[in-house]
Amino acid sequence: MTARAGLWLQQGAAPQDAAWDVPPRAEEDRVPLFVVESGCGYRARGWCRQGTSSLQGDAVTGRLEGKVAIVTGGASGMGLGTVERFLAEGARVVVGDLNAAKGEELTAACAARGQADRVRFTRTDVSLEEDVAALVSLAVEAFGGLDVMFNNAGIGGAFGPITELDADAWDETFDIDVRSVFLGIKHAARVMLEAGQGGSIINTASVAGLTSGAGPTAYGAAKSAVASLSQAAALELAPHRIRVNAICPGVIYTPLMHQGDEAAADEWVSALQPWPERGEPAHIAGAALWLASDDSTFVTGQNIVVDGGLLAAGPRVTQFSHMFKDLNKLVGFAYGTTGQKPRFRRL
């Protein structure tokens, strides 16, 4: 592993780099982290290389160096953003996606960045057990093991009134959005158990799985199942130090979400989401990085909401229903359906 930090021990005027393996090339590369005076003439100064300190916001820190990760649905959207972030943080990454053309674009872009030896792509249908098993085997064959499994691929699936929904479309939604996650956990955990080194499994659920009204019925039910499955798997695998968590994104601007019309999306998103900036794949990649890294080693069985406050804002009935639209202009008391008239006064 490459050290990206170092230490000077200084006595009097002549600073010397202590024997950390890669001292920075130039003084201006060094970002000071701390200075400690011993009181007996020695001074210790910590540095990190420019752009590598976790104290510097989004800076690259090498937090996944030495780790092998699989990302499903990694050819687009938040999966693609996560692949790029994992590679930047030093991981070796195997991408499984149904879209082979986009997968090839991804590997070409990685090669152009000099990352060809750290990435593999294989066309995968995550709803098929043989494909998921082959994806996991590829990680072991190509990179020698598996530390992180990100079960992220998914679709919107069946939509329409529940009385009209086709049962096959319902099943297909569950195959792609839930069965896939079960298969990913099953095959990743087998390899992780055999290696005995623990691991981190991350699943993509959704705020639509935590509340109704945030997505089609079948989709919401499927994402609820992902959230529940993540917790159940976390319990079973915790004794083996295999963590299982789910990320529940809010509205994230990906092709799946805006379907090519970002301006139309802006209108309704800005009315619903408290946070001013829109959700980007990088926001999910940041959460996935944390869950994949050793910074979250005591975190398991969690459904982590990454949504710019969307869920915290609640169903927003008070904002959008005609019944409540003037509520902030009145103060009073409503007796429901008791027959008693409400009492109120205007503000």
Ligand X SMILES: NC(=O)c1ccc[n+]([C@@H]2O[C@H](COP(=O)([O-])OP(=O)(O)OC[C@H]3O[C@@H](n4cnc5c(N)ncnc54)[C@H](O)[C@@H]3O)[C@@H](O)[C@H]2O)c1
Please say which residue, 225 or 252, places its beta carbon nearer to ligand X: 252
Residue with token string 């004794």: 239
Q: Which is nearer to ligand X, 255 or 332 (CB)?
A: 255
How far apart CA 112 and CA 87 sit, in angstroms, is 13
Three-class DSSP category at 64: coil
In the bound state with ligand X, the residue whose beta carbon lies nearer, of 6 and 79, is 79
Q: For the chain, what's the residue count?
A: 347
Q: Nearest CA to 183 among 133, 134, 149?
A: 133
d(C-alpha 319, C-alpha 268), whole Å: 13
Binding site for ligand X (CB under 6 A): 72-73, 75-79, 97-99, 102, 124-127, 152-155, 176, 204, 206, 249, 251-252, 254-257
Q: For residues 52 and 124, which CB has a smaller minimum distance to ligand X in the complex?
A: 124
Q: How far is the CB of 131 from ligand X (least distance, A)?
A: 8
Count CB neighbours of 190 within 10 A: 13
Could you give phi then psi for residue 11, rounded to 5 degrees? -125, 125
Rounded to a whole number of angstroms, the distance between the first and last alpha carbons of the chain is: 66
Give the shortest CB-145-to-ligand X separation in angstroms.
22
Active-site annotation holds for 335: no
Return d(Cα 63, Cα 61) in angstroms, integer.
5
Tokens representing residue 186 in the block: 């099953």
* Catalytic annotation, pick one of 42, 219, 253, 335: 219
Give least dist CB 5 to ligand X, A. Answer: 34
CB of 88 to ligand X, least distance (A): 18
List, by residue number, the catalytic residues.
219
